[in-house]
Structure formats: structure tokens, C-alpha cells
Chain A
Amino acid sequence: MRSKPVEMTVLRRVGEPRLFESRRVLTLILTAALAWSLLNVGWSDGVLHAGGLAALREMGGALLTPDLSGEVLAKLVGSVWRTLAYAFAGLSLALVIGFPLGLVASGVLRSDGGGRDPFRWAARLLLAHLRAVHELVWAWLFVAAVGLFPMAAVLALALPYSGILGRVFAELFQDVPEGPLRALRSAGASETQVFWHGRVPFVLSDALSYTFYRLECGIRSATVLSFVGLGGLGFHIQVALADLAYSRAWTFILGLIAMIVLVEAWSSAIRRRVTL
């Protein structure tokens, strides 16, 4: 029995919940972290770039007057299509990889919950590593390794996303309530039937919801893959900014925003009709 300091015991008797202590510690840590990070900014060189303020003003103005010439719009449509294609292909591959991995990692395939199942731990490890690396880093590595292929972009997107999806699916499978499953078993269902009639319907709506959220992220990521030389939108934005053509850059950025907003609206419409 460890002896605790008197003050702590008194506080606990008075009723001050322990939670508040740890949360205050957390707030302190976060504030300290902020202060530390601020110290690392090179304040001596000045916050703003030499022409920074002017650039900011110009950017703001250009936002209101995006370049809508035919040539630019044509490029916009083309790059939007390319971005969408990469995102869809990448997400579908991520699902194909992530779903089975997530299923194994959840441990629900084993009757004992997979506590000591080596496959389960292997799956969890694999998912963690897939998740660790950003898609752009994967993309850069693939391109350096084998060259400019759309497939490289798709793989670069699919690998980290499969890790993320897999982990989420694993948790969803674990969270299925036991009551309905027990009822199905008593009605005579075999374990496989319990899985398909009990777990899958429950997981499906949340999984669908999360996958659509990831699709949105995937579109943003696909845009960004241009920086490695693949894909369309990011490349055009980069070029426009290199030319200091802010209006043209905003056209592409606004196109990107429009695409994302539409996908977001579509996915919430679906989610509303499918979830509980």
C-alpha cells in the first residue's frame, strides 16, 4: 500500500474529482507546448516576408476576380476529372485492402475475440505501419522508384488509406452490440449467419459513412499528388502561383472547393438515408 500525500487524501475526501486535476495538467502541458513552439519561430527575421503584406492584399483581390477564360476552364474540367478518377480508384483499392485486414484485426472472426491470435496482431501491426506514412511521401517514393504512372498515384493513395480504413473497420466490428447477435444464435443461426445477418448490417451504415468521409479526403489528397508530377489540379495551382497569376490559381482552388463541397453534400445525403 503506497502512502499518499496528506493533501491529496484531504482533497479527495472533500469531493474534488480527480479528473479535474489531470485535465488541468493537460491544459498546462498544451499551453507550455504552444509557448515552446512559438519560441522556435525565427522572430528576429520578421514575421512577414518582404513583400508579404502586398502579396496578401493581391491574393485577396484575386479571389474576387478568378480567371474564367475558356482555356483555363478547360484545364479545370480535365484536372477535376483526373483528380476524381485517382480518388475513386485509390479509395476502392484501399477498401479492398483495408476491409479484410480490418476484419482480421478486429478479432471477431475468432470465437475468443482473438486475444492471442497471431494473425490478428500481424494485421494490426500492418495497419499501423500503412497508416504512418503520408500519401505524398509514398507518391514521391513510387515516382522516384518506377517513374510517372497514374497507378503510382493510386497506390500512394490506397496504402495509407487502407491503414486508416482498416483500423476504423476493426473498431466498428468490435462495437457491435451483443444482444441481437445472441438472439440470432438462439433463433438457430450458425456463426457465419450471425456474422452476415447481425454484424454486417450494423457495421455497414457506419462504414459507408466513414468511407464517404475518406473519399472527400481522398479528393484533397489526389489534388496534392500533382506536386510529384502526377494528377492535375495541384500541378495547375503550382504553376499558376509560380507565375504569380493569383486569379488563375484561385480558379483552380475554387474548382477544388466546389468539387469537395458537392461530394460532401452527396455523402451527407446518402448518410442520412442509410444510417439509423
Chain B
Amino acid sequence: MSTLRPTESPRIGFVHVSIVAALVMLVSSWVFVLGWDRQQSFSFFSTETAGRAWGFIQDLAGVGRTSEPAYAQLSEWSRTARLAYDTLAMSVLAIMLAAMGALVTFMLGARNVMGGGGLPAGVTFGLVRASWAFARAVPELVWALLAVFVFSPGILPGAIALAIHNYGVLSKLAAEVVEGMDMRPVEALRSSGAGRGKALVYGVLPQALPRFMTYLLYRWEVVIRTTIVVGFVAAGGLGMEFRLAMSNFHYTTVSLVLMWYLILVLGVDAASAGLRRLAR
């Protein structure tokens, strides 16, 4: 038997350096967060804070107020119902627009589809991928800030903002599905005479679509949570009401909005789970 010597144990590598860097970052972050605290007249971890927090919770519940809390009034519920409806519509519009954008571009950003197409394909690939990265990196709220300048108020600016960001997310996920896919059906179609485009459509789409729809539904759950936030700046739906109520210190209305929020979130989670079963 030939003599085999064990290879040396792995030296300090990229991962080790990264771990150290991450720890350094971690420690300095906490020092910053806890140290900067001194600027306030009292510390975050104090009875003063606890007292304030408790007072706030009582305000949310409407304790100590003369009038009835907003969430106990049917009129308030029906007034805000329209806003909840709008918020739901915003989330659906956003995710569907994002999905349409993703469906159009996802194959153009998949390595196994674009590879071998020469320079024009490479450039397209690069541009498409860059558009996704750009769309994804900017938070929805920032897109919303920009959108209010361009689109008229209502559910549109918020929906567009959410759509742009999620277009980036869904496209990348879809491209990864395609890249992990078995390309043999496509090759088979090409060898039986189909043109490049048709072979891709008939070969890729049937396999990719179910996964894509699942991702769409999962993403919808995220979108509904963000829709209320986008409403803060884009002046639409429950988010707008939340902001107004906060500014006017109508805390029981805030509670009402939060209740609607939870209803919407739990409802969408349930709907998404049910629809996902259809996608299997």
C-alpha cells in the first residue's frame, strides 16, 4: 500500500477572517447602541421607560379617556373598512404587477438560458440582472417616496413602489429556479425543430410556473405587511390612517388600525397557504 500523508489542517481562511470581522462589527454596534443612549436624560433600561411604556399601552386601550375607545365603535370600524379594503387591493396590485414584470424578464437573467448567446446575450443578461439588483436594493419606502411625486394619490404610488421592489425579488427567485432546472426537455424540443424562443417557452415555463406561483404567494405575505408601512408616505390605505392617528394622539384609533392590520395579515397568510396548496 502506498504511504499517504494527511493534508495539513486548514489554515486561517476567508471564513475565519469574516467571523472575526463580524464579531468586531457586532461588539462595536452594541457599544454604539448602548453608549449613545447617554444622550437622553434617562436610560432605556429604567423604570422611567417602563412607566412610559405602560402609560402608552393604557392609551392604546383607551383607559382613562372620557369618550369610548375607537375600536369599540361600529362607526369607526365601518369608516376604516374602506381603508382596509384599499390596503388589500394595494397589496394584490403590487404583487401581481411585480409578478408580470418578473415573468417577462426572468429568463433573460438565467445563466443557462443566456449562456452561449455571445455579446448581445451577455449584455442583456447583465442589464437585466442589474435592474433586479437595483430594484431589490432600494427599500420599498424609498421607492414610495419617489412614486408620490410621479403618480396621483390613491393606492397607485404605494402599489407601484411595492411592485418595483418585489419585481427585483421575484425575478431573482425565478431565475434561480430556472438555473436549477433540467434543461433536457428544452434540448429535446429544439432537436425536434422548435425555434429557440418556442423551445424555451414550452420547455421552461411548465416546470417553472408552479414554483413561481408558490414564491408569488409567499411574497404576498411579505407585501401585505409592508403595505401598511408604505401607506405612511404614499398616503393610501391603513398606513395613512395610522400616521394621522399617531400625529393627533388618537391612540385608540391606532389600536383599531392595528387590529385591522392583524386581520389582514392573518387573512393573507391563510389565503396564501390555501392557494399554495392549489399550486402543488
CB of B186 within 8 Å of the partner chain: no
B residues in contact with A269, CB < 8 Å = 14, 18
Q: When the two chains form their complex, are residues A40 and B26 in contact, meaning their CB atoms are under 8 A apart?
A: no
A-B contacts counted at CB < 8 A amount to 198
B residues in contact with A137, CB < 8 Å = 228-229, 242, 258, 261
Which among B71-79, B116-124, B131-139, B176-184 touches the partner chain?
A: B131-139
User: Within the complex, which residue of B137, B228, B246 is in contact with A134, where a contact is CB–CB below 8 Å?
Assistant: B228
Q: When the two chains form their complex, are residues B226 and A37 in contact, meaning their CB atoms are under 8 A apart?
A: no
A residues in contact with B89, CB < 8 Å = 36-37, 40
How far, in angstroms, from A19 to B206 measured CA to CA in the complex? 12
How far, in angstroms, from A140 to B245 measured CA to CA in the complex? 12
Q: List A151-190 residues whose CB lies under 8 Å from chain B.
A: 151-152, 154
Q: When the two chains form their complex, are residues A34 and B18 in contact, meaning their CB atoms are under 8 A apart?
A: no
How far, in angstroms, from A137 to B226 measured CA to CA in the complex? 10
B residues in contact with A238, CB < 8 Å = 145
CB of A25 within 8 Å of the partner chain: yes
- Could you give, for residues 120-163 of chain B, a 1 whenever the CB lies within 8 Å of some chain A CB and a 0 otherwise? 00000000000001100111011001101111111110010000
- Could you give, for residues 51-81 of chain B, a 1 whenever the CB lies within 8 Å of some chain A CB and a 0 otherwise? 0110111000000000000000000000000
User: Within the complex, which residue of A41, A49, A140 is in contact with B149, where a contact is CB–CB below 8 Å?
Assistant: A49
Q: When the two chains form their complex, are residues A48 and B141 in contact, meaning their CB atoms are under 8 A apart?
A: no
Residue of B nearest to A241 (CB): B145
In angstroms, how far is the closest chain A Cβ from the Cβ of B235?
12
In this complex, how many residues of chain B approach chain A with their Cβ under 8 Å: the count is 73
CB of A220 within 8 Å of the partner chain: yes
How far, in angstroms, from A273 to B232 measured CA to CA in the complex? 41
CB of B240 within 8 Å of the partner chain: no
B residues in contact with A51, CB < 8 Å = 149
B residues in contact with A56, CB < 8 Å = 149-150
CB of B49 within 8 Å of the partner chain: yes
Contact A273 to B246, CB < 8 A, known contacts A25-B278, A59-B149:
no
Q: When the two chains form their complex, are residues A147 and B52 in contact, meaning their CB atoms are under 8 A apart?
A: yes
Q: When the two chains form their complex, are residues B29 and A26 in contact, meaning their CB atoms are under 8 A apart?
A: no
CB of A14 within 8 Å of the partner chain: no
CB of A29 within 8 Å of the partner chain: yes
Main secondary structure of the interface of A (DSSP, over half): helix
A residues in contact with B44, CB < 8 Å = 146, 149, 151-152
Contact A253 to B151, CB < 8 A, known contacts A33-B96, A88-B25, A270-B14:
no
How far, in angstroms, from A136 to B140 measured CA to CA in the complex? 12
CB of A4 within 8 Å of the partner chain: no
Q: When the two chains form their complex, are residues B92 and A36 in contact, meaning their CB atoms are under 8 A apart?
A: yes
Q: When the two chains form their complex, are residues B150 and A150 in contact, meaning their CB atoms are under 8 A apart?
A: no
**Chain A interface residue bracket vs B:** 35 or more
Q: When the two chains form their complex, are residues A23 and B37 in contact, meaning their CB atoms are under 8 A apart?
A: no
A residues in contact with B188, CB < 8 Å = none
B residues in contact with A42, CB < 8 Å = 152, 154-156
- Could you give, for residues 107-141 of chain A, a 1 whenever the CB lies within 8 Å of some chain B CB and a 0 otherwise? 00000000000000000000000001110110011
List 26 contacting pairs A-B, 8 Å CB cutoff, sorted by A.
A22-B277, A22-B279, A22-B280, A25-B278, A29-B278, A34-B93, A36-B92, A40-B155, A42-B155, A45-B154, A46-B152, A47-B156, A51-B149, A52-B151, A59-B149, A82-B32, A133-B261, A134-B229, A137-B261, A145-B55, A145-B57, A234-B139, A256-B142, A257-B134, A270-B15, A273-B13
- Give the B-binding residues of A (Cβ under 8 A): 19, 22-23, 25-27, 29-30, 33-34, 36-38, 40-42, 45-49, 51-53, 55-56, 59, 82, 84-89, 92, 132-134, 136-137, 140-141, 144-152, 154, 220-221, 223-224, 227, 234, 237-238, 241, 253, 256-257, 260-261, 266, 269-270, 273-274
* A-B residue pairs, 4 tightest by C-beta: A145-B56, A37-B93, A88-B29, A85-B29
Excluding A88-B29, A89-B26, A261-B133, 16 further A-B contacts by CB distance (< 8 Å) are A22-B277, A29-B275, A37-B155, A46-B152, A59-B146, A87-B29, A88-B22, A89-B29, A92-B30, A132-B266, A134-B225, A136-B141, A145-B52, A147-B52, A148-B40, A220-B139
